[in-house]
Amino acid sequence: MSWSLVNKGLELIEGDLHLSSDKPNSKFLVGANQSAQKCIERKNKNALKAGLKKKKNVSSLNIKVKRALETYKAKKYEDNTLKNLKLLNKIDENLKTTVNEKKVKEYNLKKLREARVEDEKKTDTKKKNNSFFSEEDFEKMNNEWLALR
């Protein structure tokens, strides 16, 4: 068993170790109780030391934040919106392209016509391949059925 598991077990049963002296193993239990108390005291001391270290780090962080705020306030605010708008206008002028509407319409109409022709071809092939029997076969079957009636 590791030492940390033993300490945890002792912490869990700490309340049960307070036994009266009339039991035969009371000396052993009192000694165990004392060692558990020492472990708990050590942990508390270590926790306090760690807490102090954290506080030091927090205070140093606060100081850094305060310094950053002070430097930000010390700098004067410059309004660059007009400069930015001028740059955006230059970029917009460079990107302008002239588009011929007629060419775009013709291109799209051509694509639509091609798609319609392809759809018609597909439907024609589907109609042709739907049946294994010809029209003559259907007429013969119809005549035979009518003759049987």
Regions of the chain where pLDDT drops below 50: 19-22, 26
**Separation CA 130–CA 132 (nearest Å):** 7
Q: Buried b vs exposed e over 60-70: b needs ≥16 C-beta within 10 Å?
A: eeeeeeeeeee
Decide: 32 and 17 in contact? Cβ < 8 Å: yes
Q: pLDDT value at position 76?
A: 73
**Separation CA 71–CA 134 (nearest Å):** 93
Side-chain half-sphere CA neighbours of 132 within 13 A: 0
Q: pLDDT value at position 55?
A: 55
| Burial grade of 48 (CB within 10 A; 0-12, 13-18, 19 or more) | exposed
**Separation CA 43–CA 61 (nearest Å):** 27
Q: pLDDT value at position 58?
A: 61
**Separation CA 88–CA 91 (nearest Å):** 5
Cβ-based neighbour number of residue 119 at 10 Å: 10
**Separation CA 10–CA 38 (nearest Å):** 11
Specify the DSSP class assigned to residue 23: S
User: Residue 118 is encoded by which pair of tokens?
Assistant: 């392809």
Q: pLDDT value at position 121?
A: 84
